[in-house]
Amino acid sequence: MSTEATHYGRLTRYLHWAMAVLFAWQFASAGAHAWLEDTAVEAFLWASHKPLGLLLMLLAIVRVVWGVLDRGHRPPAVNAWASLGHLALYLLMIAVPAVALIRQYGSGRAFEPFGIPLMSGFEGEIEWMTAIGSNFHGLFGWVLLVLVVGHVAMALWHRHVGNPEVMSRITGRGID
Ligand code: HEM
Ligand code: HEM
């Protein structure tokens, strides 16, 4: 008799969907910054980009730690590509905000997300830090979006063509 899990656990599922909603908002603010500069839409959305980005990084770290503790209690990977894809999503979920935070620190400007004095700022600038962020943050951010779009497309493909149970693993459908 197999004891393999058929679904992701409750915490995994809640983190997945809460972060999916927050990522939608985060990419909307990035898109507004890229294409709607100096409009009211950008002013509205961009205000949350840095604090929400930090929150998403913290949640991604919680998710990684939880993934390690929870290993052995998750449904088996659909195939090696799915494992590789999820690994890439995790790497970028951490790397994208991390390089932005390095740039933020290196800029010497104070950073107080949610009113918490995280970086007090200093005179001058640390150039390699600002260069890392400016070279990679936006680029990796858009790569993450492309991966997310591919991930959602694969999920929908399984839902309608491949194996509908793949979607149920993360929605919790079918759990009594
Ligand atoms: C998971 C979290 C994050 C995602 C997915 C994300 C995504 C993006 C993307 C795609 C862009 C490019 C927008 C454009 O082309 O104009 C961008 C720009 C920017 N982000 Fe983020 N971001 C995140 C977190 C952060 C954090 C934590 C900070 C600061 C502490 C930050 C600060 C900025 C700044 C200043 C820009 C404009 C400069 C640039 O394009 O590099 N972001 N972000
Ligand atoms: C409408 C949006 C989304 C849908 C329909 C969706 C669908 C799914 C499905 C069906 C699974 C289970 C796949 C499997 O077991 O092989 C899954 C797992 C996963 N998804 Fe999504 N997803 C969405 C958004 C996102 C976003 C925005 C991210 C991250 C940026 C993400 C990251 C992950 C990860 C890392 C897993 C593996 C389980 C875990 O470690 O939490 N998903 N998703």
Q: What is the average pLDDT across 133-152?
A: 98
Burial (0-12, 13-18, 19+ Cβ within 10 Å), 87? exposed
SS3 of residue 47 by DSSP: coil
* 115 within domain boundaries: yes
Q: What is the average pLDDT across 109-114?
A: 97
* Type of residue found at 107: S
Q: Is 82 in the pocket of ligand 2 (CB under 6 A)?
A: yes
The Cα–Cα gap between 93 and 61 comes to 9
* 88 within domain boundaries: yes
- pLDDT, one tens digit per residue, over 39-94 is 999 999 999 999 999 999 999 999 999 999 999 999 999 999 999 999 999 999 99
* 165 within domain boundaries: yes
Say how far residue 140 (Cα) sits from the centre of its chain: 11
| Residue of minimum CA distance from atom 29 in ligand 1 | 50
- Hey, which residues does 111 pair with through a beta bridge? 119
For the chain, the average pLDDT equals 95
* 145 within domain boundaries: yes
* 1 within domain boundaries: no
Domain range spanning residue 97?
10-171
* 4 within domain boundaries: no
| Residue of minimum CA distance from atom 18 in ligand 1 | 138
* 140 within domain boundaries: yes
Domain count across the chain = 1
Q: Which residues contact 148 (CB under 8 A, 6 or more apart)?
A: 23, 27, 89
The CATH number covering residue 91 comes to 1.20.950.20
Question: What is the 8-class DSSP label of residue 9?
Answer: -
* 51 within domain boundaries: yes
Which of 137, 140, 145, 149 has the most ligand 1 atoms within 8 A of CB, as the residue to mutate? 137
